[in-house]
Amino acid sequence: MTKPILPGATIGVLGSGQLGRMFAVAARRMGYRVHTYSPAEDTPTGHLSDREVKAAYDDLAAVEEFVRRVDVVTFEFENVLSDTTECAARHAPVRPGGGVLHVCQHRRREKNFLYDHGFPVTPFRNVDSFDDLERAVAELGYPAVLKTAGFGYDGKGQAVVRSAEDLRPAWESIGEVEAVLEAFVEFEREVSVVAARGLDGDFCHWGVVENEHSNHILDVSTPDAPVSDSVRALAVEVAHGILEALDVVGVLCVEFFLAPGDRLMVNELAPRPHNSGHFTFDASLTSQFEQQVRAVCGLPLGGTDLLRPASMVNLLGDLWANGEPDWRAALADPAVKLHLYGKAQAKPGRKMGHLVAFGSDRAEARRRAIAARNALVKR
Ligand code: AMP
C-alpha cells in the first residue's frame, strides 16, 4: 500500500483561485502546509498559503523548484499544461494524475471519452471546418450549440445556432477553431454529482445537487435535487463509473442535463472541487475540500451526510456596481454564512464569493440565500 502523506507534510497546489483557497483552509485546519503556484501574486489561495510562487505554468524550471519542496501535488485549475504535470510527477505524486486533466481540459476529448465508455452524454459531433459544421447540424438539427474544443468555461467560446444564417457568424465567433457541435437540450433541470475517490478506490458522493445558471454562470446550488429515485441512482452510478474509468484520486464533479422523460445526460466534468459543492463546506459532515485533502494524502474519506437543508448563491462582481455590498444586511439572517475570496477587483461576472443559507427544508434555505443576496445591494 502507498504510504499516506500525514499532517505536517506540505501540499502543493497548481492554481491560486478560490478553489485553492478553500482547499487551503481545509488543509491547514488538518495541520498541513500549503504551497501555491500560478502566474499571479496576492491571490485567493496565496493569502492562506505558507508559500506563494508566481511563475508561468510553462516555466518548467520553476515548476521543478516548486515541486521539490512539497510532498504531493494537486491542482485547483484544470487548464494546467500536460508538460507541467509531467514535470511535477517526476518529483512528487500528482493527484489526480495528469491523465485526468488531459481528458477534462479539452471538451472534445472529454465528450469522446464519455461516449466511448458508454456514459450518457449530450448528442454531439466533432467539428474541424465549416463543412463539418454544416454536416453536423444536418445530423443534429436546430437549435444546437457550437463550443470550442479546449479551454472554455462559464459559457465562454460558445454560440447557439438556430438557423442556417447563424452558422457562418457562429463559426467566426469561436475563431474557426477545433470545436464540437452539441444538440441544444431543452432540459428540465441541471444537476450535478460531486464525488470523490480515495487512493484505495473508495468512493463517496454528496448526492444530486440542483443547479440554476444565469448567463451561463452558476447562480444557485441546492443539494438534494427533486429528482426520481431512478435518476438519483443513475446519476450516482454514472459518476462512480467516470471516477473509476479515469482512475481519479480526489474530487470530481459531473454536471448533467435532465431532460423530460427522466433522460439524464452528462454536460461536462470538472476534475476538482466544484462550485456546486461549495455548500458542503458549511452543510456537510466532510466538505469537498477536506475530502480532496484526504484523498490526495491517501487518508480515509470522511462521511458526506448533509447536516441540514442548505442552499448556496454565488456573489458575482456585478454586486459591487454601486459600491461595497451591505454585508451587515445579508448577515442579519443568522442562518447565513458569508464566504469571500479576497479578490481585490470586482468585475462583472467574476466570482467574488458566495453565501450559504440554511432552512427547515431546501426551499426555505434557497429563499433565505437569495433574500440575503438581495439584501446586499442598497436600494
Ligand atoms: P458549459 O460551459 O458547456 O457547461 O455551458 C454553460 C451553460 O450553458 C450550461 O450549464 C447550460 O445552462 C447552457 N448550455 C450549455 N450547453 C447546452 C446545451 N447543449 N443545451 C442547452 N443548454 C446548454
Averaged pLDDT in 10-residue chunks for the chain of 379 residues: 91 98 98 98 98 97 98 93 93 95 94 98 97 97 95 72 97 93 97 98 98 96 98 98 98 98 97 98 98 98 98 98 96 98 96 98 98 91
The per-residue pLDDT for 336 is: 98
Q: In what order do the strands lie in the sheet with 144-148?
A: 124-127, 179-183, 144-148, 158-161
143 in contact with ligand 1, CB cutoff 6 A? no
| Whether residue 156 has its Cβ less than 6 Å from ligand 1 | no
Q: How far apart are CA 374 and CA 186, in angstroms?
A: 29
Q: Does ligand 1 have an atom closer than 6 angstroms to the CB of 155?
A: yes
Pocket test for ligand 1, best of 106, 145, 191 (most atoms within 8 A of CB): 145
Gap from CA of 155 to ligand 1 centroid (Å): 7
Angle between helices 60-68 and 82-89 (to 10 degrees): 40
* Amino acid in the structure at residue 354: H
Rounded to an integer, what distance in angstroms lies between the CA atom of residue 189 and that of residue 135?
29
pLDDT at 78: 84
pLDDT confidence of residue 156: 66
Tell me the CA–centroid distance for residue 43 and ligand 1, in Å.
Answer: 29
Count the alpha carbons within 13 Å of 261 in the hemisphere toward its beta carbon: 4
Residue whose C-alpha cell is 442562518: 335
Closest CA to 211 of 159, 279, 148, 109: 279
Q: Cite the residue boundaries of each domain of the chain with CATH code 3.40.50.20.
A: 10-94
What per-residue confidence (pLDDT) applies to 213?
A: 97
Q: Which atom of ligand 1 is nearest to the CA of 255?
A: 4
Q: Per CATH, is 123-183 categorized as 3.40.50.12280?
A: no
Report which residue type is found at 342: G
145 ligand 1 Cβ < 6 A: yes
pTM confidence score: 0.96
Secondary structure of 165-212 in HEC code, one letter for each residue:
HHHHHHHHHCCCCCEEEEECCCCCEEEEEEEEECCCCCEEEEEEEEEE
Length of the chain, please?
A: 379
What pLDDT is stored for residue 157 in this prediction? 84
Q: Atom of ligand 1 at shortest distance to CA of 182?
A: 19
pLDDT of residue 102: 93
Question: Residue 228 is placed in which grid cell?
Answer: 426520481
Domain 189-375 has CATH 3.40.50.150: no
pLDDT of res. 152: 59
Q: Of 43, 5, 11, which Cα lies nearest the Cα of 289?
A: 11
In the chain, CATH 3.30.1490.20 covers 123-183
Range 10-94: architecture per CATH? 3-Layer(aba) Sandwich (3.40)
Å from CA of 360 to ligand 1 middle? 31
pLDDT score at 226: 98
pLDDT at 1: 60
Distance CA 40, CA 21 (A): 14
In angstroms, the CA 349 to CA 355 distance is 16
Q: Which residues belong to CATH 3.30.470.20 in the chain? A: 189-375
